[in-house]
Amino acid sequence: MKLDEQPRFPLARTPTPLHDAKRLREALGGPDRCPRILFKRDDLSDLALGGNKARKLEYLIGDARRKGARAVITTGGKQSNHARMTAAAAAIAGLKAALVLTTDEEAPEIQGNLLLDRVLGAEVHFVRGAESKSGAAAEAEAEKVIQLMASFEADGLRPYFIELGGSSAVGTLGYVDASRELTKQLLEPGYEPTRLYYASGSRGTQAGLELGAQLFGASYRPIGIAVSDGEPEKRDHAVRIAREAAELLGVVANIDPEQLITDQGYYGEGYAIPTAAGIEAIRIVARSEGVLLDPVYTGKAMAGLIDHIRKELIDPGETVIFLHTGGAPGFFAQSAAVLSMMEST
């Protein structure tokens, strides 16, 4: 397969650690009730405080450079981790970065990722819309992107557009490569995990994990916990970009939409709206492992895993992986909601 022949720009510090979260297992009832839980720490991928986007951006920035781009444009919610990491990647590659961010507030607080976007030197453009609903501000966003593309083009900057969350065929290669890394890491300790839990948003991670699991003969099934609505469009998107990525790699892959698992039970009222179960999960993991999850993505994913364990959907004899995709910088923009919910769980 042509993975090592794809244009790639080094941004992530890999391999990221894999470790046994033993104290979390104890906190969830011990080996009689809880499977072994391995943490795959993509929150430690570096690139301005880490997260899963670092892996996608290695291929996206590689592609942008190959095409002679001097600027990148991307979109997201106002607390987008992807936008922050794109700003960092652009800084390293010497590209201009423009971020089109959706916000439901007149004047969003310059905190968390939004603060870091500024520090990293990105140009930030806001569009108004509901962040919690997938695609709510799609039109205003598309209009702004088209306008920026044209103006950068006129300035001779050759803009490269990066899809929401970096979830394109090229971005998908990041989690194909991560699957190679992970399956290799599992060999020496001899773990044979049955499931890999992760927070699922724009689906590039899903596409890469699904394709990668097939290509590298993984023992586990990827189990996405949705952090936002948008079915069935998002599933179709995952299938499309996974198939396109397979084409880039010159391999035949069987991506069956019916086989993709994305549990819709844990996102609550919508994207970026904290849930009590997510806050409880953050608290349990922080106080057992000293590892920080976030209220938008990884807390909700961990809430899904904990609930599946409590409902005895996972045999305690199994080993599962929890892919920590990052997100902690967004925490600082949610302090009031987190504190009030922490009191009640």
Q: Residues in the site for ligand PLP, rule: CB under 6 A?
A: 51-52, 81-82, 165, 167, 199-206, 297-298, 325-327
Smallest gap from residue 340 Cβ to ligand PLP (A):
22
User: Which residue lies nearer to ligand PLP by CB, 134 or 205?
Assistant: 205
User: Which residue lies nearer to ligand PLP by CB, 167 or 214?
Assistant: 167
User: Which residue lies nearer to ligand PLP by CB, 51 or 62?
Assistant: 51
Smallest gap from residue 325 Cβ to ligand PLP (A):
3
**Token pair listed for 230:** 């948008």
Specify whether 179 is catalytic: no
Nearest to 116 by CA among 140, 99, 137, 134: 99
Task: Give the Cα separation of 15 and 13 in Å (integer).
Answer: 7
User: Which residue lies nearer to ligand PLP by CB, 157 or 334?
Assistant: 334
Among positive and negative, which fits the CA dihedral 66, 48, 230, 75? negative
Smallest gap from residue 260 Cβ to ligand PLP (A):
12
Alpha helical stretches, state H, the chain: 22-27, 53-66, 81-93, 112-119, 138-154, 169-187, 204-215, 233-249, 276-289, 298-310, 335-344
Bond from prior residue into 193 cis (ω within 30 degrees of 0): no
131 within 8 A of 23, measured Cβ to Cβ? no
80, 134, 179, 200: which is the annotated catalytic residue? 80
User: Which residue lies nearer to ligand PLP by CB, 81 or 334?
Assistant: 81
Smallest gap from residue 248 Cβ to ligand PLP (A):
17
Residue 75, φ and ψ in degrees, nearest 5 = -130, 165
Smallest gap from residue 321 Cβ to ligand PLP (A):
15
Task: Give the Cα separation of 90 and 61 in Å (integer).
Answer: 8
Distances (CA, A) of 311 to 32, 34, 37, 267, 282: 14, 11, 16, 18, 19
135 within 8 A of 165, measured Cβ to Cβ? no
Q: Which residues are catalytic?
A: 80
